[in-house]
Amino acid sequence: MRDKSFYRSIGLKCGLEIHQRLKGGKLFCSCRSTLSEEPSLEIIRKLRAVYGELGVVDRAAAFEHMRNRKFVYKYYPSESCLVECDEEPPHQVNKEALEAAITAALMLNAKVVDEIHVMRKTVIDGSNTSGFQRTMVIALDGYLEYKGEKIPIAQVCLEEEACGILEDWGDTVVYRLDRLGIPLVEVSTGLLEGYSPEEIQEIALLIGVTLRSTGKVRRGLGSTRQDLNVSISGGSRVEIKGVQELELISKVVENEVERQLSLIKLAKELKEAGVREEDFKPPMEVTELFSETKNRVIKRALKSGGVVFAAALPGLSGFASRELCPGLTLGKELAYHARAYGVGGIIHSDEDLAKLKLEDEFKKLRELLKAGSRDLIFIVAGPPDRAAEASRAVVERAKQLLNGPPEETRAANPDGTTRFTRPLPGAARMYPETDIPPMPIPREYVESIRASLPEHWEQKVKRFTEQLGLPRDLARQVVWSEYLSLFEEAVEKTRLPPTLIASTLVSTLKDIKRRDKIPVEQLPDEKIMEALLAVDGGKISKEALPDVLRELAKSPGETVQAIAARLGIKPITLEELREIISSTIQDNMEVVLEKRERALGLIMGRVMAKVKGRIDGKVVSEEVKRKLKEVLSTSRVEA
């Protein structure tokens, strides 16, 4: 286990960008942002490389253009309009979102700017129809306290969410327009130095809690997303996009540190082995050699008009299976570069060639490429232009191995590893959105928001403990959970005990997810509230709540009433309970008479089996005790 002093010694520096979706409508039009409909239309677009402010094509933008991909956008009638289609200029900034962002900025002790200017940030991976993302600085220079130190918050921005990706076929990407334009708050920390990956994760959690305490943020799948930039001394700045779960941050940072350390070590080894940049030769087309191949993948590629490119990577034989970090071999790393050009990947000479039925071809290839035994040979099969570009990209990446980790943008995988996506974008990618005039922010407006800021999370924990009677641990769990604002709403709208509401939200739901593997986080707040109100109104018992919530999570379209009816958990009245208890005792009279008071457990069990979830268990227990006592006292007389 690597400790804090290790990360300090390698000079780990990390910047966090926390993206959090806001409640309410879209940022630049009046569409809903519910993400529920079926698409009605499709639009097909292409995006072009654009010319940056210094007259040159931005390198990340040029990279996307070279891929020449086609983008298909699914259109949802209530959740998209001409603004999302890039057929109409944006409307005025959503006032509610602006106020939420200012609230968040003030909670982070940041200084709200005097005048907000909306910017266009060039993004041509198709995730924005316009070719840019609209974004604006709300505040600068804030801080958060963590372990007695001030964590710098460099910038708080308000921006529009990008399209959701539905499918990626390499040359065609399918996006959904409904997500485009949902307001997001983006919080960027300053560079965090001297912290361990666990601490960096805790800082991210702390920012998340602070944002949630505004009560104006969304929860659920995809509502938060983290980007990290990580560097170590002797390494490079690497941007890692789209870490979905806060709990993955420390693992992602650890893996990236490991990856960079391995690449630094590898560079040294290769140099010591005498490998030089000029030894790398460009790939050759070798389709001919594979005309009789028995390998199914290549056969299929050739049949559909594909070609095969190959190259030798000097001195790299035996290295492809080396792990750069857990779950990522050098071979896989090189393959990511090929895949970025829309081919399936690479096949290399460190693989089991006999199993792949490629032994003969690779033997001939080694001669053809004049490669030595220490060289790694690889091939790329695919459509002519893509296979050529992809194989060249692999050679270029291999050449860079001599210089340690390069600067690049990577994407987080769900297992905490990362994959190469594109080179780091240049600085020339931001210019003003001329369709929206600058917005002066009057100081009185900021001060009015400051005057009614929501409580700090620590104050909330204190209040929930002292005034609502929650145990301290439970109070903290609620405050740190995604369900904070739902908890507060339920406490206000129902007469249910706060402890019941809190434990339902932080533990019952989690149990359902863990035990029944149901994506309970997708259950909307309104449905959970509906269930709580049903308990409050006596329509279902609190015992039935877990079952009802589980069924709701499975089919959120159903009403609580319908589910209760389906599960047969219509509540019973006290009269009905008493009848059930009497008949149960009657049915077990022999045992009752024999065991007398000790028969309580048995009767209780039998009754509960009949009324479970339909009436409060405490009431059942009281009633069973009372009735048993009554029966025994009369039976004694009889006896």
Partner 1 sequence: MYSPEVEKALESAGAHIGDIIRIQRGSEVYEGILLPRSEYGDPSCIVIKLSSGYNIGVKYTPGTVIKRLRKAAEVGKFPAKKAERKPSLPPVSLIATGGTIGSRVDYVTGGVYMCVKPEELLYLTPELEDAVYIERMRSPFLVASEDLTPDDWKEIAEIAAKELNTDVRGVVITHGTDTMHYTSAALSFMLRNLSKPVALVGAQRSPDRGSFDGAMNLLCAAHYAARSDIAEVAIVMHGESSDTYCYAIRGTKARKMHTSRRDTFRPINDLPLARVWPDGRIEALNTKYRKRGSSEVYADTAFEKRVAIVKA
Note the residues at the interface with partner 1 (CB under 8 A): 42-56, 61, 82, 85-89, 111, 113-117, 119-124, 129-132, 135-137, 140-141, 155, 157, 427-434, 437-440
Q: Identify the CA nearest to 505 among candidates 312, 219, 259, 276.
A: 219
Q: How far apart are CA 175 and CA 618, in angstroms?
A: 53
- State which residue, 449 or 591, has the beta carbon closest to partner 1: 449
User: Torsion over CA of 522, 526, 532 and 538, rounded to 10 degrees?
Assistant: -130
Q: How far apart are CA 177 and CA 44, in angstroms?
A: 12
Q: Among partner 1, Zn ion, none, what binds residue 52 when CB lies within 5 to 8 Å by partner kind?
A: partner 1
Residue 266 CB, nearest distance to partner 1 (Å)? 33
DSSP class of 22 = B
Which residue(s) pair with 145 in the sheet?
Answer: 150
- State which residue, 86 or 258, has the beta carbon closest to partner 1: 86
Q: Among partner 1, Zn ion, none, what binds residue 320 when CB lies within 5 to 8 Å by partner kind?
A: none
Q: Among partner 1, Zn ion, none, what binds residue 519 when CB lies within 5 to 8 Å by partner kind?
A: none
- State which residue, 237 or 374, has the beta carbon closest to partner 1: 237
CA 593 to chain centre: 61
- State which residue, 186 or 551, has the beta carbon closest to partner 1: 186
Q: Among partner 1, Zn ion, none, what binds residue 123 when CB lies within 5 to 8 Å by partner kind?
A: partner 1
In this structure, are residues 106 and 448 in contact, taking their beta carbons and an 8 Å threshold?
no
Q: Among Zn ion, partner 1, none, what binds residue 29 when CB lies within 5 to 8 Å by partner kind?
A: Zn ion
Q: Among Zn ion, partner 1, none, what binds residue 31 when CB lies within 5 to 8 Å by partner kind?
A: Zn ion
- Which residues bind to Zn ion, rule: CB under 5 A? 29, 31, 81, 83-84
Q: Among partner 1, Zn ion, none, what binds residue 445 when CB lies within 5 to 8 Å by partner kind?
A: none
Residue 217 CB, nearest distance to partner 1 (Å)? 22
* Helix pair angle (617-638, 574-587), 10° resolution: 50
Q: Among partner 1, Zn ion, none, what binds residue 47 when CB lies within 5 to 8 Å by partner kind?
A: partner 1
Q: Identify the CA nearest to 546 among candidates 519, 528, 562, 573.
A: 528
Residue 73 CB, nearest distance to partner 1 (Å)? 9
**Concatenated DSSP letters for 171-194?**
SEEEEESTTTT-EEEEEEE--EES
- State which residue, 430 or 567, has the beta carbon closest to partner 1: 430
- State which residue, 84 or 389, has the beta carbon closest to Zn ion: 84
Residue 382 CB, nearest distance to partner 1 (Å)? 21
Q: How far apart are CA 443 and CA 145, in angstroms?
A: 25
CA 534 to chain centre: 32
Phi-psi region of 400 (alpha: psi -120 to 50; beta: other; left: phi over 0): alpha
Q: How far apart are CA 102 and CA 119, in angstroms?
A: 17
Residue 422 CB, nearest distance to partner 1 (Å)? 14
Q: How many CB atoms lie within 10 A of CB 127?
A: 18
Residue 111 CB, nearest distance to partner 1 (Å)? 6
- State which residue, 177 or 257, has the beta carbon closest to Zn ion: 177
Q: Among Zn ion, partner 1, none, what binds residue 145 when CB lies within 5 to 8 Å by partner kind?
A: none
Which residue(s) pair with 320 in the sheet?
Answer: none
- State which residue, 118 or 553, has the beta carbon closest to partner 1: 118
Tokens of 492: 């206000």
Q: Among partner 1, Zn ion, none, what binds residue 46 when CB lies within 5 to 8 Å by partner kind?
A: partner 1
- State which residue, 83 or 316, has the beta carbon closest to Zn ion: 83
Distances in whole angstroms, Cα of residue 534 to Cα of each of 355, 483, 492, 542, 628: 61, 19, 15, 9, 32
Q: How far apart are CA 582 and CA 602, in angstroms?
A: 14
Residue 152 CB, nearest distance to partner 1 (Å)? 14
In this structure, are residues 438 and 269 in contact, taking their beta carbons and an 8 Å threshold?
no
Tokens of 275: 């490998």
Residue 122 CB, nearest distance to partner 1 (Å)? 7
Residue 31 CB, nearest distance to Zn ion (Å)? 3
- State which residue, 15 or 306, has the beta carbon closest to partner 1: 15
Residue 64 CB, nearest distance to Zn ion (Å)? 25
